[in-house]
Homo-oligomer: A and B are copies of this chain.
Amino acid sequence: MRFKRAVPLLAALFFATVRASASLAGAVTDYRLDNGLQIVVIEDHRAPVVVQMLWYRAGAADEPPGKSGIAHFFEHLMFKATDDMEAGEFSEAVAANGGSDNAFTSQDYTAYYQRIAADRLELVMRMEADRMRDLLLTSDDIATEREVILEERAQRTDTDPGALAGEQMMATLYMNHPYRIPVIGWRHEVERLGREDALAFYRRYYAPDNAVLVVAGDVVPEEVLELARKYYGPLPPTGGLKARIRPSEPPHLAPRRLTFTDPRVSQPYIRRLYLAPERNHGAQKEAAALTYLAEILGGTGATSVLGRALQFDRQIAVYADAGYSAISLDPDTFGLIVVPVPGVSLQEAEEALDATIARFLQEGVDQDQFDRIRMQIRASEIYALDDVQGIARRYGAALTSGLTIEDVQDWPEVLQSVTPQEVVAAARRLFDANRSVTGWVMPAGEGDSAEVAR
């Protein structure tokens, strides 16, 4: 039950990005059932294991106004009773058969998966199909799970100043698009979510015509299709689903800033977010260039631009990184973070950050560094082929974020085709201060803050 956006501080510091990709051509078959269910089968016979992932094209950014958190709330509710199963029976059955299961919610999708012995695929498919439309929800279920989720929010967000600051920054950066709202939901809205809200979300979005089934592992496509027809085939589509067109951003005409002060902050830092384009169907080059940019600016080691300038050459920062995820349905963010060394003010650190970026835009990419990164990307793509679940996840995320199987398969090649000049050109388009928010996160009483924001 992971969040794409409710990032705790450490993850924020390390920017869990999708920095690598694999050459995934071949052994992928896809179908569509009459009821609209898209099915992707990825054959991999190295181990007698199968992963079933069911992806719904419904995430936090698809929630009705004022109902934030309902997508993630529903992810929890999917483990309650159906007409055929007791609450909790799903996961117990998976575990009793030696498997594991879980689920996760992002802004753009909600996904459920099980990893189990290949000969138990029918079991998990029967159960997954059962809960797609036949969940029984009692008011007790809602009340209990709401408490669980509020506790989850307390632990992941409300007690974590970095996560809280991140929420405020996203809500400041986005003026119109629902990415401004955290996946876990605003606490005051989660507290009021009820059974009707849950059922409305379920009936609208949990249906075969709004889902992608990804089955990866030691399976034969024909058998998967036969099982899918048997279990998912009879489920009625929800029908009338509109295109996922969300409110989009108006022009951003002014750089924005915030100062987040919290005594629990142990080390002050600067975080900056820019609105950034994402991978789009048939147009992935800009996102590929930004994927390089994140590696060039913030990648590990003394060779990254920020690392070299701020950590090694001038010893201004103890940590500097850049982050970009590339996959989302709508324009996402490109992030920078700098944690200054004690004695260096946030003001000084920010000036050094900006000077470093300005110099990078002027001097361009170091060809040796670029070649190294291109090689690393190629290597990590090949390495990624070893992880069946990771591959399944890659297809599921892409297909619920506006991309196609072809886009997934093209991506490694698009990445390899990027030139240093394209990276700099993408960086110039990206680093528009008007489309940014800068956050200073610091303990109470930091002298820096007084000058800039009272």
Contact = CB atoms under 8 A, between A and B. Distances in A.
Interface of A: 65-66, 68, 164-165, 167-168, 171-172, 175-176, 178, 180-181, 186-189, 245-248, 250-262, 354, 433, 438-439, 452-454
30 contacts: A65-B178, A66-B246, A66-B247, A66-B248, A68-B247, A165-B253, A167-B250, A168-B175, A168-B252, A168-B254, A171-B175, A171-B250, A172-B172, A176-B181, A176-B186, A186-B250, A187-B250, A187-B251, A188-B250, A189-B248, A189-B250, A254-B261, A255-B259, A256-B256, A256-B257, A256-B258, A433-B453, A433-B454, A438-B453, A452-B452
Nearest to A169: B254
Count identical subunits in the complex: 2
A439 B453 CA distance: 11
A171 B262 CA distance: 24
A258 B259 contact: no
A85 to B, nearest CB: 34
A247 B65 contact: yes
Contacts of A255: 258-259, 453-454
Nearest to A262: B253
Contacts of A261: 254
Most B CB contacts (10 A, CB to CB) among A180, A188, A252, A257 go to: A257
B453 A246 contact: no
Contact of A254 (B176, B180, B258): B258
Given A167-B250, A253-B260, 5 more contacts: A68-B247, A187-B251, A188-B248, A257-B257, A257-B452
Nearest to A431: B454
B189 A256 contact: no
Contacts of A257: 256-258, 452-453
Contacts of A262: 253
Contacts of A454: 255, 354, 433
Contacts of A178: 65
A86 to B, nearest CB: 35
A188 B251 CA distance: 9
Contacts of A453: 255-257, 433, 438
Given A65-B246, A66-B246, A254 B439 contact: yes
Contacts of A180: 175
A68 B247 CA distance: 9
Nearest to A246: B66
Contacts of A68: 176, 247
A241 to B, nearest CB: 16
A259 B248 contact: no
A168 B433 contact: no
A444 to B, nearest CB: 12
Given A180-B175, A259-B254, A65 B66 contact: no
A201 to B, nearest CB: 15
Nearest to A247: B66
Nearest to A170: B175
